[in-house]
Structure 1
């Protein structure tokens, strides 16, 4: 609910503070007094696009502050949370327009953008009038209005989920088809490469091992001859000479009075070392023995591994992993047809589910459209438009997450006349009554917590019709808040709260102000609206009768 509106230096308003109330709030005044300025100022603080020049002549800047009360479940709270702005039971909007055209906005004392203001305004205020392209006259919102009227939240949720599943199935099939097409383009290469890899079967670390074996075998050829000679020398003269020397010395050792004990011990140790050296040399020679073809085989496999690595531009140790990747691609190719069949079946099921959900939603919308048409028709009769025809047209449109229906509210003002969009078929007065009748029907199901503003929606009607308009506005205000700018005394008399907009001229300065009216002042204002400049006793009596209901 809009609780307060403060305007400073906007157009012909110097300073103005208004405290609005729940229920039906009416603003009256002579033509040109400045009623439209109030709406322009409210639209400005809500971020609506309107007049370019709003700052009062001679002022450095204009400023508008609006204060709203928010219920615990008000939709504006979600907008505030999404924007990272403070959330509470009170919402304060302030916007400044500099004389240079620059605009700055605050929400609860935090700077914000015009986009945030406009998002908030969608949850706070609805403006209805002859030039309203934001609400009922905008065909883009008619489907949403119908869905809200019909309470189709569950059907909409089912359709959105089915659309999401369908889109997911389409993406999965397209991705798989693209991948399969790419693999098929290299099928011959894959099969040849996999067969080549399986034949060679390279293992991680094998290249380094083969290289070491190759170098060892190449080195063995060069040292074998010298090692063989050494073994012959050790096994021949050296061992025999040392053995002969040991026997000769042992034969005379007892006569040498101990002088040969040390040489004999050294010879014995030398014989042992000689034996170990001979054994080591023989072991080395045994290790150098290999198949004459082993070197050739090792070199052949080593060169094959290196050539395959160069061919596929990977390191030799990565060949096994590369081969596994090729086998995976080939397996995917072989299994691709089966996978595509499964994905196509999934898409068929998703398409069927979406079609069923969209069809159910369409049927619910058409049933709701019939109820809405009947309800609006019933409202038109008291508004002296019993011959007019209101119809909710539903046609096929592109499929989407909320179904495939295009919804438009159409009217025919006379029997047999072609139906068309609200804003193009109805005249000013007729349009106002159509909008009111439609709003009355729609508001039975929605708009709690939203301030509804009607800008001269009673234009072109009077008498009993104006009274019917006022009573419907009053009904709309029950449990909520309605602001109406009106020239109709019948409508003004039904208001719970009444303000008069006045224009004053002081020298060369023209200002507009708004005055709250008590019971006596209301009687005088309604009498003025009935009689014009000269208020007669009869006009006052008529005003009292209207106020008495």
Structure 2
């Protein structure tokens, strides 16, 4: 509910502080008094597109503040949460228009964009009038209004879920078809590459192992001859034999050398022991260096084969095994792709059937809701002196989508036999106002949570018709809040709260003021609306009768 509207330096408004109430709030005043400026100011703070130059002449900036009460569960809370703005039971919108044209907005003292304001306004205010292109006159919203009237949310949710499933199934089939097409283009390569890699069977770490073995065998070939020659020099034909001969010769004469050869003999014995160890070590080395030349050839061939495959597939030798696994997976996907595609196509047909069933059920429910809405609007038109008019909700086929396969358009024919067409194309000003009101009465639930604004919706009607308009506006306001800008005394008399919009000249400047009216003032204002500027006792009596009727 709109609780307060504060306006500073906007057009011909100097300062206004308005406190609105639940129920039917009426604003009256002479033509040109500035009633439309109030709506422009409210539209400005709500982010609606309007005039670029709102700043009052001589002021640096214009400012509008709107305060709304937000009950728990109001849809504005979701908008605030999504935008990362603070919430609560009170919503304060503030927007400033500088004299240079810059516009700045705040929501609960936090800066925000005009887009956020417009999203909030969709949950807060609904404007209806002869130039309303956002509400009932916009055919793009007629289907949603019909669905709300018919309480079709469960069917629409089922249709949206089915549409989502259908889209997922279509994407799965398209992805599989594209993948199979790509795989078929490289089928020859895959089969040849997998065969080669299967035959080679490279293992992680094998490249380094083969390279080490190859280097070892190549090094052994280079040093083995020298090791053999060294081993021969250490044997019986070499150092071992010579040292043995020397030991025998010295041992044979030692007893005659008075002990002088004992130490040399001991040293030779030790040397022979060390020599034996050296011989054993060299012999072991020779055994280690011993290899079959065919092993070197086989090792080199496998090493070169692995590295050739790595270069061919532009990968590291150690990654060849994983690369081969990937190729095998792609080949398996190709070989099993037709079966997978067949299953997905079955799932697609099932999803299509599910969507068709849900969309058909929604279309049938819309047709029933349209018939009920047409009858309800027709019943409302009779008291509005339009009993000969024909209202019809036309359902037409549309491209399938998440909300079904229908479009809905509200059409009217003002007289039997006359061609029907969209509301804003067929009906005249007064007729259009009454059509909109009848439609709104039928479409509004117990509590929409919206502040409804009707801008001169009673234009072109009077007498009993205007009284019927006023009664219906009062009915709409019973469980919510309605603001009406009106020139009709019959409508004004139905208001629970009444303001008069008037111009006054202050200091040579013309300014608009809005005055709340008490009971006596209301009598005079409605009398003025009935009789003009000259108030008579008869006009006041007629005004009192309207107020009590």
Q: TM-score, normalised by structure 1?
A: 0.95
CA contact (8 A) 1:149 1:446 kept: no
* Match of residue 195 from structure 2: 195
Q: Displacement, 1:51? A: 2.2
- Which residue does 1:415 correspond to in 2? 416
Pairs within 5 Å for 1:451-462: 451-462=451-462
Matched, 1:229 2:267: no
Give a deviation string over 1:459-517, Cα, whole Å, max 9, x none.
11111111111110000000211111111111111111111111223574222211111
Matches within 5 A, 1:28-39: 28-39=28-39
Aligned to 2:168: 168
Q: How far has the Cα of 1:446 moved from its partner?
A: 5.3
- Equivalent-residue separation in structure 2 for 1:325 and 1:244 (angstroms): 72
- The answer to whether the 8 A contact 1:148-1:445 is kept is no
Where in structure 2 are the equivalents of 1:270-419 lying within 5 Å?
A: 270-419=271-420
Q: CA deviation at 1:58?
A: 2.3
What 5-or-longer segments of structure 2 have no aligned partner? none
- C-alpha distance in structure 2 between counterparts of 1:501 and 1:153, whole Å: 42
Which 10-residue stretch deviates more, 23-32 or 166-175? 166-175
Q: Unpaired runs of 5+ in structure 1? A: none
| Separation (CA, whole Å) in 1 of partners of 2:4 and 2:343 | 62
* 3-state SS of 1:482 partner: strand
CA deviations over 1:418-457 (Å, ceiling 9, x no partner)? 211111111111100000000001113552x211111111
Contact 2:446 2:479 in 1 (8 A): no
Q: What is the CA-CA distance between 1:203 and the residue it aligns to?
A: 2.2
Structure 1 residue matching 2:293: 3-state secondary structure: coil
Contact 1:148–1:446 at 8 Å: present in 2 too? no
Structure-1 separation of matches of 2:218 and 2:525: 120
- Classify the secondary structure of the residue corresponding to 1:414: coil
Q: Are the counterparts in 2 of residues 47 and 118 from structure 1 also a CA contact under 8 Å?
A: yes
The CA distance in 1 between the partners of 2:54 and 2:229, in whole Å, is 115
Match of 1:57 in 2: 57
Give runs of aligned pairs for residues 478-497 of structure 1, distance below 5 A.
478-497=478-497
The 1:323/1:506 distance shift into structure 2, 3 A limit, reads closer
SS in 2 for 1:344: helix
Shift of 1:330: 1.2
Within-5 A mapping of 1:442-521: 442-444=443-445, 447=448, 449-506=449-506, 508-521=508-521
Once superposed, what is the RMSD of the aligned Cα atoms?
Answer: 1.9
**1:191: how far off?**
0.9
What is aligned with 2:204?
Answer: 204
SS of the aligned residue for 2:235 comes to helix
For the Cα contact (< 8 Å) 1:149–1:445, is it kept in 2? no
Give me the TM-score of the superposition, normalised by structure 2.
0.95
Q: How many residues align?
A: 548
Per-residue CA deviations over 1:302-346 (Å, capped at 9, x if unaligned) read 222222222222222222222222112111111111121122222
Cα deviation per residue 1:29-79 (whole Å; 9 max; x = unaligned)? Answer: 111111111111111111111223222222222222211111122111222
* DSSP 3-state at the match of 2:512: strand
Deviation at 1:277, TM superposition (A): 2.2
Give the secondary-structure state (helix, strand or coil) at the position aligned to 1:383: coil
- Aligned-partner SS, 1:236: coil
CA separation of 1:111 and 1:241: change in aligned 2, threshold 3 A: closer
What SS is found at the alignment partner of 1:384?
coil
Contact 1:3–1:21 (CA under 8 A) maintained in structure 2: yes
Please give the alpha-carbon distance, in whole angstroms, between the structure 2 residues aligned to 1:46 and 1:240: 116
SS in 2 for 1:530: helix
The reply on whether 1:73 has 2:70 as its aligned counterpart is no
Matches within 5 A, 1:417-432: 417-432=418-433
Give me the whole-angstrom Cα distance separating, in 2, the residues matched to 1:10 and 1:211. Answer: 87
CA distance in 1, matches of 2:8, 2:214: 96
Verify the 8 A CA contact 2:26 2:486 in the aligned structure 1: yes
Structure 2 CA distance, aligned partners of 1:52 and 1:287? 96
> How many angstroms apart in 2 are the aligned matches of 1:531 and 1:33?
18
Q: Distance in 2 between matches of 1:153 and 1:224?
A: 91
| CA shift in 2, pair 1:220/1:70, >3 Å | closer
Deviation at 1:188?
Answer: 0.7
